[in-house]
Structure 1
Amino acid sequence: MLPNLEVVASSLVSGLLLGGMLALTALGLSIVLGVMKLVNLAHGEWLVAGAYLGYFATQYLGVDPLLALPLIAVAMGALALPFHRVLIRPLAGKGMEAPMMTMFGVSIILQNVYLLAFTADTRAIETTYAARPLHIGPATVSEIYLIGFAISVLLALAVHALITRTAFGRDLRAASADPSAAAVMGVDVGRVHALTFALGAACAAMGGVLIGTAFSFTPSTGATYLLISFAVVVMGGIGNIYGTLVAGIVLGVLQSIGALLFGDGYRDLVGLVLFLLVLTLRPQGLVKGVRS
């Protein structure tokens, strides 16, 4: 039996809006990989940290998680700086493997820290708009989906403006294109990498707040969103902010179609299959454009 129009419309609109949030969760990974050539396997744990910060801000401080977004971003960016200084910077120039395995170790450690600190209980950031239905034509979606989509698009545009229209962005692009030449021209590549790492953590944390408001999360949730983020980055092109945004939306819609056709349990499978196809057939990404 075919699903009715309302179900199909709701599924497609939900996928489109959720795709915007998926793009934000992948944005930090894309920037760090594009500039530092760092495969940050702890990216999912930055996201979960943001979700926990949003949860405690709401639960114990009475602060709306959306209003807390700037503070959470700053807190996670500041926390990422000593991580970079102690763990990543000493490995500069020693290939991709050592930093990648270091971040894999950080991922395992953080998962266990979350488990000890917060237990394995499933949590969600509870707000009035998290479960409130919103009617868009024949579609009905949760209000947080539309809010999360709008915030994600605005943040992606803000990061794009930061990278393309500021002195830091000029240094970042130079360090990404040729670190040695940038250093000769007076760019402090180490500082650029540290700030890029912090920016990636801040973007992941903000995505975590939105994901934690729309869905439930546990200490191990980061692994799922790390995989989704890799799929979005590969589809959109490494370092391509507009591409990341488009790829997140495409992935969200296709996941919804997969869930509609085969059942909700196949949602992540659709994303994984698409990730492998793009990696095989078009590793430079689906979206053409200048890398940011």
Structure 2
Amino acid sequence: MSFEIIASNLLSGVLWGGILALIALGLSIVLGVMRLINLAHGEIMVAGAYCALVIGSLTGLDPLIALPLIAAIMVVVAVPLQQLLLAPLAGKGAEAPMMTTFAVSLILQNLFLVGFSADTRSIGQGYSTQPFSIGPISVPLIYVLGFVISVGIIGAVYLLVNRSAFGRDLRASALDPVAAASVGVNVRRVHALTFGLGAACAATGGVLVGIALSFTPTTGAAYLLTSFAIVVLGGMGSIFGTLVAGIVLGVIQSIGALVLGDGFRDLVGLVLFLAVLAVRPAGLFGRRT
């Protein structure tokens, strides 16, 4: 096996891992702040891809240009959804909210089937198949664009969480919602906006996936499992850990596909997920409590 093939696969793994980290970031934030296992996360990601498909067909707008609009749409949809379905279940255990998100995932899948059929779709663009070369190393251009966009969004979320008033309220709500409420933090509002932020990250990642690969109404399940693996590997609620874990998982998946075949890509990632969960449940960058 030539050096060019190995290097290209490793670089592709790094770049694709950045996109996976963006998708997983939404799950990690919601889990870290709200202690909510959002089983509809994968379907929210797919909703972003379908949204880009519809906007492109109606307006001709490039999906990368439409990313802010798609993120805003998902926030507008997700915030009322959280307030209507999940907020009333706060303080009633983890099972009821988790099963509610499972029901939402099934509803979204069926809506996708009704609206778009079970056909495989892709957000075709000129740069979807265009290569990006550095000497003998070549990777898809969309991987490079997706990585830059993903890292930029992850960096913006980090600044929002650590350098803003909303981020201060978010951190307080994550540490102790009762104490935060006692000093004037509107925890319910923080949870709603956090859910919206997580949905925006997932939907943005879904657009990048739709441009680079393809998707169907049931594609979200695989990315939900991958996101769980990244969250466990990087540590719940850790933004930096999520980015590093996404890149690590992307590289390991590429190595697994290179050595064992492309059909084993997801298997290798899930084996890593189980190994880390067994050895260090808090994740590589998470804190033990």
TM-score over 0.5 (shorter chain)? yes
Alignment correspondent of 2:213: 215
CA distance in 1, matches of 2:158, 2:275: 27
Tell me which of 230, 233, 241 is aligned to 2:231.
Answer: 233
Q: Deviations over 1:159-194 (max 9, x none)?
A: 000000000000000000000000001000000000
Q: Determine if contact 1:29/1:43 at 8 Å carries over to the other structure.
A: yes
* Structure 1: stretches of 5+ with no match in the other structure: none
Alignment correspondent of 1:89: 87
Give the TM-score normalised by structure 1.
0.97
CA distance in 2, matches of 1:274, 1:232: 10
Q: Determine if contact 2:236/2:286 at 8 Å carries over to the other structure.
A: no
* Per-residue deviation, 1:60: 2.8
CA distance in 1, matches of 2:283, 2:269: 15
CA distance in 1, matches of 2:93, 2:73: 29
Higher mean alpha-carbon deviation, 280-289 vs 217-226, is at: 280-289
Q: Deviations over 1:8-40 (max 9, x none)?
A: 111111111000000001000000000000000
* Structure 2: stretches of 5+ with no match in the other structure: none
Matches within 5 A, 1:185-264: 185-264=183-262
CA distance in 1, matches of 2:56, 2:183: 46
Give the TM-score normalised by structure 2.
0.98
Alignment correspondent of 1:166: 164
Tell me which of 51, 54, 62 is aligned to 1:53.
Answer: 51
Matches within 5 A, 1:60-209: 60-209=58-207
Specify the SS of the correspondent of 2:127. Answer: coil
CA distance in 2, matches of 1:288, 1:33: 13
What amino acid is aligned across from residue 40 of structure 1 in structure 2? N
Alignment correspondent of 2:269: 271
Tell me which of 35, 39, 42 is aligned to 2:40.
Answer: 42
* Per-residue deviation, 1:63: 0.3
What number of residue pairs does the alignment pair up? 288
Q: Determine if contact 1:240/1:289 at 8 Å carries over to the other structure.
A: no
Q: Deviations over 1:212-257 (max 9, x none)?
A: 1100000000001000000000000000000000000000000000
CA distance in 2, matches of 1:143, 1:168: 35
What is the Cα-based RMSD across aligned positions, in Å?
Answer: 1.1
Higher mean alpha-carbon deviation, 139-148 vs 50-59, is at: 50-59
CA distance in 2, matches of 1:220, 1:114: 9
What amino acid is aligned across from residue 221 of structure 1 in structure 2? T
* Per-residue deviation, 1:125: 0.6
CA distance in 2, matches of 1:88, 1:288: 26
Q: Determine if contact 1:259/1:265 at 8 Å carries over to the other structure.
A: yes
* Per-residue deviation, 1:289: 7.4
Specify the SS of the correspondent of 1:129. Answer: helix
CA distance in 1, matches of 2:93, 2:137: 49
CA distance in 1, matches of 2:119, 2:87: 35
Specify the SS of the correspondent of 1:160. Answer: helix
CA distance in 2, matches of 1:98, 1:256: 37
Higher mean alpha-carbon deviation, 63-72 vs 281-290, is at: 281-290
CA distance in 2, matches of 1:203, 1:264: 27
CA distance in 2, matches of 1:109, 1:277: 33
